[in-house]
Amino acid sequence: MTFSVRSVHTLRTVRALAAALLAGALLAGCSTFSEEGRDQYERSQGEPPAAEGAEGAEGAGGEASESAKSVDQPYDVRPLLEPKKKYLGVAADGAPAKMNAVEDFAKRAGKKPNLMEFYSAWGDQYERELVQNAWDYGAVAYIAWEPFETSLKDIAAGKEDKYIREYASSVKELNLPVAISWAHEMNGFWYPWGTKKTSPADFTAAYKHIHDLFAEEGATQVIWVWSPNVINPMPKVKLKPYWPGDEYVDWVGVIGYYAEYGPHTYKSLYGPTMTQIRTFTKKPFIIAETAAQAGERKPADIKDLFQGTAKRDDVIGFVWFNYDKETDWRISSGPLSQKTFREQAQSDSFGFDVTKP
Amino acid sequence: MTKRRTPTWAEDSEVRGGGHERPYAYEQGNQQAYDQGNQQQYQGQQQPYGQGNQQAYDQGNQQAYGHGDQQAYAQPGQQPYGQGHQQSYPQAQQRQVGNESLRQYVQNAPPPLYPHHPEYDEGAAGGRQLTNTGTWRFNGRTSKYLDQATFQIYAPFDPYAQYTAVEPEPEAQEEKPGYTLPAVPESAWSVDTRRSRLLGRLILLCILLVQAGLSLRLGGTAFQDEALYIASGHYELDNLLHGTKLPVDFAAYFSGHPKLYPILAAVVDDRFGLFGVRVVSLLFMLGATGLLYSLTRRLFNLRAALGAAALFSVVQSTVVLGNLATYDAAAVFLLALSAWAVVRTDRMNALAVLLAAPPAALAFGVKYASGLYLPTLVVLAVITAHRHRGIRALGRGVVLGAGTVALLAVGYYFSGPLGGISSTTTDREKGADTAATMLQHSAEWGGLLFLAALVGSIAYVLRARMGEMPWIGGETTGRWRRAALGLVLTGTTLLAPAYQINLQTEISLYKHVGFGLLFAAPLAGLGMARLVGPHFRHPQLGILLYVLTLVFGMVQAQERAHSFADSTQMIAYMRTIVDKKGEYLAEEAEVPGYYLRDKTYWTQWNNTYFMDYRGKDGKQYAGAGAFRQAVRDGKFDAIVMHGAISPATYAAVKEGLKGNSRYRLAAVFPYTSSYGENAYRIWVKR
């Protein structure tokens, strides 16, 4: 018994057949090793696919995903939205980069502020250090984000997406609560995003777009503030067209100062605005910027502000504009003002520990 | 001599010597003893050589030796016999004929023309016989003296003279032996030895290590199904031990019995967590590979066994199932155990095949889809029956089938109604996957192994042996039986794809393909051995096949294992917000339901597949509308979604969230799966 010539041939045929079948299998399996398949594999390895990986790998993409993993739980800002007590906020010169002004304010007021407003121009990086400083001090940062040098149309159209996303991902990475009031006083005419150059539709579109990008990036630490000026100077501008919707706003930040010539009671200063706003939303109010012009009435204004805020359950606090700008808005402008402020701030309903609201 | 095919070493002196001695010993009287006593011993002990000798007779020696002898025995009557006899047989039977003819030749040959010698003549007359040892036998005694007379004369003077022990004449046994030795399977380069067995086991160990490594590298958080089965196991265990009410009737929609694997998983999970349960799965899969090795070795040979184990251990399904805490691994193991028992009891009494029935029945209980492979086991029982059993082989199949069915009937009687069988297995909801894609995917997942099995089957049908050791004849199974074995085992691979194409759903197909591959693997191993060829002529082909299978398996397993979200962050966050009362909507609700079972109850988690909801407006909603309205009404305390599993529900939920101030996006956890970037989004009530 040996190999017959025929069986050797058969064997060869079988082997040739096998080789052909193997090649066929390779072709059949091409989707495993196709472009798409490779991408899938790379993704599953936790790498960006080669196509987009070139810039993403060593650039911000890789870094971001690296740190995203180490981020612990996103800060739950819900307790900060409607705290039982009222915010005692301040906007002070140089703060929160330097805390001198704030500390001075706290000394005079006899209470540490727990909300700290500062301004950020469009195009600025998210100022992590400032937010961190404020937080370390014991205050929630409140950023008035001013879209200078851009148009709200462009923002809504997505031309600024890259910047917004970067900003949002920084917010997410820092993982500290922050109140953002974008394009405040939109119902006034004085800012580039004001009534003169921008339509309400553009404003809401841009506002929503920014909000959505933040949501996409997962920057859930933001307290969204929709911040109109009191309607007294321009009563004809209706606020409702500017309203983006309940799901886009956490606080309604009303801006109104006790000026020398103007309303001098809480009711006359904020009342009409709040009444109008209450026709379309029940979101809590915060007096986003306020102060009283130096003068004889200042102590009374201060008292009115405290009393009015304390009276209304749907106003969660105010931010004192403690600047000497145009006029001396600071509480230190006069000894009586300071004394009144100190007295009023003693009230237990103002100020609380933001880490345990 | 130019066409000589006998290996030169097979033609050594031993062979020749044996050949030369025989005619010398074949004297009249002696011949009988030789035939009866020695021949049996000779063939029994030295079978390989015996056949080697035949070879030598047939091919090499025939000319030199055979012709020489014929010339030496130049008798008128002999020549026709010697030549004519050989020619009258076809080539294929030459071996047997060669053996036969030689014996007959010696028996039938006329007395050789040795020169007359008084001693020979006298001895012949005196009835003496020359023994093997060179002494003479006469009067029933053995002596070194040539005859009685010489002995009587010389022995008294010979100080060394003695009688040797009487050798009784072995009695002729004409009746048929009661037991036929089974065919010794050809197994390797050398005959199956302890060394080759050890070597085979060492290689098997390496294969198993590779398999374990491939599985363990996958890792990951609990897959939806794993979470479901383990969590259900905990509730079932409580139900068994403390009679706690089950949150839902798991039996109604599980594709395996909820009191079998899930309970095992829960017990292990209590001690070792998810990793422990997955290790159990890995052990099941390693066990399956080991059993596969063993049964292939018994069916074919060591090399095929190694090939089968090597190929099976690296395909996607094996690798993934070894890291998947579902009942698939257990079912594969039980099927392998049953198949092994079927093959292992092939030569035993037909009733012994009943040993394969419990694992087969249990496999069905553990996972109903295993039922698809029970017919294969029954047919295998028939085909592997001892070949001398003839028609009675069918009995084995009947016994196994009846035993399995009886066990299943008993099991069903005690388990009560199992709605899951129909809803998940027999009467599954029809999907929309096309046959073409499913076939293509099946080919990607198991095509290589299937092709190898096909090659193995064809080669096996063509030749029962590779012919590496042509002098080993031995019995082989018939062509029909070989064809049937190849057809059944290879064809089993096609069962799952065919069945699911019929159902038009690709769900779990990648796992079910693996079940079929288990059965095709023996022939794939054989195919691999045949590709490599006799004497390892083409090792590169075998390596190529293995490496290709390995690469496909690795890549596909990696994709499969990362096809779902890593839930670590999501679970950690949800842990901070859930309580015992809340109601939660979650995509893959089983995952948080499993991980957070210490803080929540199973029914607090709503899945994203089905929902019936009566809205606060009093209307009844179903499907996506129900989700939308429920979100609008603020029914859920938290919503966890990513949209990869139920995009329709995701869209509905988003719609429900629009203009809805009840919820607030609380967290976004991006993750990367093999389908791309995605993110968990968690909304909570304000």
Cβ separation of A15 and B563 shorter than 8 Å? no
Instruction: Find the range with the poorest average confidence among A85-94, B17-26, B485-494, B547-556.
Output: B17-26
At residue A50, what is the residue type? A
Q: Per 3-state DSSP, what percentage of chain A is helix, strand, and coil (rounded to 5)?
A: 45, 15, 35
DSSP secondary structure string, A223-265? EEEE-PBPSTT-TTS-SGGG---GGG-SEEEEE--B-SSS--S
Nearest CA in chain A to B473: A1
Q: Tell if the CB–CB gap between B462 and A10 is shorter than 8 Å.
A: yes
The rounded distance, in Å, linking the Cα atoms of B640 and B628 is: 14
Whether the per-residue pLDDT at B128 is higher than 80: the answer is no
Helix axes B509-532, B261-299, angle to 10 degrees: 20
- For A270-281, the pLDDT digits (tens) are 988 999 999 999
Catalytic residue among A127, A146, A185, A217, which? A185
- Name the residue among A342, A357, A274 with its Cα closest to residue A87: A357
| Residue-wise DSSP of B484-550 | HHHHHHHHHTTHHHHHHHHHT--TTHHHHHHHHHHHHHHHHHHHHHHHH-GGGS-HHHHHHHHHHHH
At A226, phi and psi to the nearest 5?
-105, 115
Token pair for B558: 């990696």
| Radius of gyration from C-alpha coordinates of chain B | 36
Nearest chain B alpha carbon to A69: B569
To the query of whether residue A289 is one of the catalytic residues in this protein, the response is yes
pLDDT at position B185, please?
A: 57
Q: What are phi and psi of B663, to 5 degrees?
A: -110, 155
DSSP per-residue letters across A196-231: TT--HHHHHHHHHHHHHHHHHHT-TTEEEEE-PBPS
More confident residue, B53 or B335: B335
Chain A residue with CA closest to B316: the answer is A32
Chain A positions touching B448 (Cβ under 8 A) are 22, 25, 29
Give the pairing type, strands A251-255 and A285-290. Answer: parallel
Kindly determine whether residue A43 and residue B668, on different chains, have CB atoms separated by under 8 Å.
Answer: no
A221 to chain B: closest CA residue: B666
Q: Cα separation of B672 and B670, whole Å?
A: 7
| Dist CA A345 CA A110 (whole Å) | 7
Q: Is pLDDT of A351 > 50?
A: yes
Report CB contact under 8 Å: B448, A25. Answer: yes
Classify residue A161 by burial, with Cβ atoms within 10 Å: 0-12, 13-18, 19+.
middle
Set of chain A residues whose Cβ sits within 8 Å of the Cβ of B569: 73
Interval B494-529: pLDDT, tens: 998 998 888 888 888 889 999 999 999 999 999 999
How many angstroms separate the CA atoms of B405 and B667, rounded?
Answer: 53
Looking at residue A149, its pLDDT comes to 84
**Radius of gyration (Cα) for chain A, nearest Å?**
29
Subunit contact B573:A74, Cβ cutoff 8 A? yes
Enumerate domains of chain B plus CATH numbers: 8-114 (no CATH), 222-427+435-561 (no CATH), 568-685 (3.40.190)
Beta bridge partners of residue A258, listed in sequence order = A292
Give the whole-angstrom CA distance, residue B395 versus residue B398. Answer: 5
Query: How many beta-carbon contacts under 8 Å exist across A and B?
Result: 144
* Mean pLDDT of all residues belonging to chain A: 82
Long-range pairs, A309-316, Cβ under 8 A, ≥24: A309/A86, A309/A266, A310/A86, A310/A347, A310/A349, A310/A350, A311/A266, A312/A285, A314/A282, A314/A284, A314/A285, A315/A86, A315/A284, A315/A285, A315/A286, A315/A287, A316/A82, A316/A83, A316/A86, A316/A87, A316/A251, A316/A284, A316/A285, A316/A286
Contacting residues of B for A74, CB less than 8 Å apart: 573, 666-668
**HSE-up of residue B5 (Cα within 13 Å, Cβ side):** 11
Contact criterion met (CB < 8 Å) for B458 and A14: yes
A73: contact with B, CB 8 A cutoff = yes
| Cβ atoms of A158 and A209 closer than 8 Å | yes
Would strands B638-641 and B676-685 be described as parallel, antiparallel, or unpaired?
antiparallel
Task: Count how many Cα atoms sit within 13 Å of the Cα of residue B184 in the half-sphere of its side chain.
Answer: 13
Q: Which residue of chain A has the CA closest to B98? A: A1
Peptide bond into A96 cis (omega under 30): yes
Catalytic residue among A127, A146, A217, A289: A289
Q: Which of B438, B661, B662, B673 to mutate to test the interface with A (most CBs of A within 10 A)?
A: B661
pLDDT for residue B3? 52
Taken in order B295, B300, B303, B308, the sign of the CA dihedral is: negative
Q: Which whole number is the average pLDDT over A345-351?
A: 88
* Residues listed for chain B: 686
Of the ranges A34-38, A349-353, B329-333, B410-414, the best mean pLDDT one: B329-333
What's the pLDDT tens digit per position in B299-353? 888 889 999 999 999 999 999 999 999 999 999 999 999 999 999 988 888 888 9
pLDDT in tens, B87-107: 444 554 555 555 555 556 556
| Contact list, A22 vs chain B (CB under 8 Å) | 448, 451, 544-545, 548
- Domains of chain A are 5-70 (no CATH), 78-345 (3.20.20.80)
pLDDT for the residue B670: 86
Distance CA B59, CA B677 (A): 71
Cα–Cα–Cα angle for B471, B477, B481, rounded to 5 degrees: 150
Residue B57 has pLDDT above 70, yes or no: no
Residue A223 tokens read as: 């307290």
Q: How do strand A178-182 and strand A140-146 relate by DSSP bridges? A: parallel
pLDDT at A62: 36
**Residue among A24, A26, A44 minimizing CB distance to B562:** A44
- Disruptive mutation site among B642, B668, B671 for chain A (greatest number of A CBs within 10 Å): B668
Q: What is the pLDDT of residue A211?
A: 93
DSSP letter for each residue of B68-79: HHHHHT--TTHH
Which chain B residues touch A57 with a CB distance below 8 Å? none
How many angstroms separate the CA of residue B274 from the nearest CA in chain A?
21
Instruction: Kindly state the DSSP code that residue B391 receives in the 8-state scheme.
Output: G
Task: Dump pLDDT digits (tens) for B612-625.
Answer: 888 888 888 888 88
Which residues of chain B neighbour A44 with C-beta distances below 8 Å? 558-559, 561-563, 672-674
The pLDDT value given to residue B276:
94
